[in-house]
Amino acid sequence: MSDVAMPGSTAATIALSIHGPAGVLDLVVPAGATPVDVAREYAAQADVAGIPLLQTALGERLNAAVPLADAGIQTGDLLVATTGVHRPRRVTLLEAAKNAPESPALASLVAATASLVAGLAAWYAGRSGDDTVRTVAVGLLLACALGGALPIGRHTRQRAAAAPAFGAAAAFAALHEPGVHLLPAILGAAGISAAVVAGIGRALAVDDGAEVATVWIAGGLTVFGCCALPTLLGWDDRIAWTLLVLMSMMAARFAPALAVDVPDEALLDLDRLAVTAWSARDGGRRARRGRVVVAADAMERLVRRASRTVTGAAAAVLVTVVIASPLLLTSATIDLDRIGARCLVLFAGCALLLAARSYRHAAARALLRLAGLGALVALAVHLVAGPGAAHLDTFGYLAVGLGLVAVAAAVATGRGWRSVWWSRRAEVAESLCGSLAFAAAVVAAGVFRRLWEMTS
């Protein structure tokens, strides 16, 4: 046992065991000693030629300029004195992946890309016409869906969020037949499959982060109801696409109200509400006034849950609008129904763009804006490539004129939608677009034309 002589106070010391070529030596050194000081003392006590290098028990060399206390060395640690060349321990790729910190943003991006690839694979397998390709694709998609729903490994939340997309893709690849006009029924089956996989993932989840699974379940059941009802009643496909566009427009407005569900005990002290005449006379604890303090971690959990719910709902709105809008426009073949479909897509897209301004969550706001722009892009493509393209000039002049008016108004105010005046006008415009979308849905679904034919 030996002490290393160091200048300054020696109140804080560290007891170490040094293993080296001369055996084991126990030293008690000050916390401010450096590895060079300890190595020099070891060489002097063990009668070793030269000053050895100090390493930890795992083979990590200690920095000679950093004190032992700053390097994380504590009392009872084991150090190795070596005179050879330091060779760091080789880390394999698998060990590096296990030791790497989690990156939720990158995992979410990979999960979204995998969901998109799953949809493309289902589309190719459904239209290939080869039974072998279809069977293999369905099997792989089902295996990925069930594997992603299992709470095993890292990034379980991101994998569970993408697993229902693989289930929906597997159902689409298994049921789709080229040339068969049962697309609403196929999409309804895909929606219920996604809801089932999301339910499995929610039941197996070990934490409370099941908000995205709840959105998948609600969205899958909604798609199934909107697509299965017209198919069972023998209605036209336009009714299913009309219902999906309307439900997406309404979800953008009502999703935040359903996401933020604050418990009553977080706002009120329920014990103080039960005040009777006897408790009021009592001078004890119940008669004293107090303040209710809401825990910060509880509010943080509430905000995180609401944020995931709103983001998932916005993503569901984006996917539904991007898929249902072109289908609605292409399925309307009669002139009167075509006008209603175009008006519905136009007003629904404008309503989504106006609803996005009220969102303070950046990701949800961007997704809703993409949904509105997707509907308007689908309408523009249909106007250019669809029937009635001769009337495109008038529509283009009108759109350019309205755009110039909006730009001039925005430049004049300089505050966009942030001022109270603009906010009120935006509320009125959003309500007007929603009302016009409901009115256009009656025409797009063929109800107005059917009533006209019955009375004419």
- State pLDDT tens for residues 291-305: 555 566 767 777 778
Report how far Cα 324 is from the mean position of its chain's Cα atoms: 22
Angle at which helix 183-204 crosses helix 237-259, to 10 degrees, equals 30
Structure tokens at 161: 């969020």
* Sign of the alpha-carbon torsion through 54, 56, 61, 67: negative
Angle at which helix 335-356 crosses helix 237-259, to 10 degrees, equals 10
**Best CA proximity match to 235, nearest among 2, 445, 14:** 445
What kind and span of H or E run contains 215?
helix 211-233
pLDDT in the model for residue 350: 87
Q: What does the mean pLDDT of the chain come to?
A: 77
Cβ of 317: how many Cβ atoms within 10 Å?
26
Query: One-letter amino acid identity for 360?
Result: R
CATH architecture for the domain at 2-82: Roll (3.10)
- Answer yes or no: are the C-beta atoms of 25 and 52 closer than 8 Å: no
pTM for this model (two decimals): 0.68
- Answer yes or no: are the C-beta atoms of 174 and 205 closer than 8 Å: no
Give me the residues of the chain with pLDDT under 50, please: 1-11, 270, 277-278, 286-290, 416
Cβ burial 287-316 (10 Å sphere, 16+ → b, else e) = eeeeeeeeeeeeeeebeebbbbbbbbbbbb
pLDDT in the model for residue 320: 92
**Best CA proximity match to 112, nearest among 288, 402, 318, 381:** 318
pLDDT in the model for residue 6: 44
pLDDT in the model for residue 196: 92
What are the residues whose beta carbons fall under 8 Å from the beta carbon of 258, sequence distance 6 or more? 309
For the chain, give every residue range classified as CATH 3.10.20.90.
Answer: 2-82
**Best CA proximity match to 166, nearest among 196, 210, 186:** 196
| Spatial distance between the Cα atoms of 45 and 48, rounded to a whole number of angstroms | 8
- Answer yes or no: are the C-beta atoms of 397 and 405 closer than 8 Å: no
Residue 87 — φ and ψ, nearest 5°?
A: -120, 110
Residue with tokens 């009302």: 435
Report how far Cα 100 is from the mean position of its chain's Cα atoms: 21
pLDDT in the model for residue 116: 92
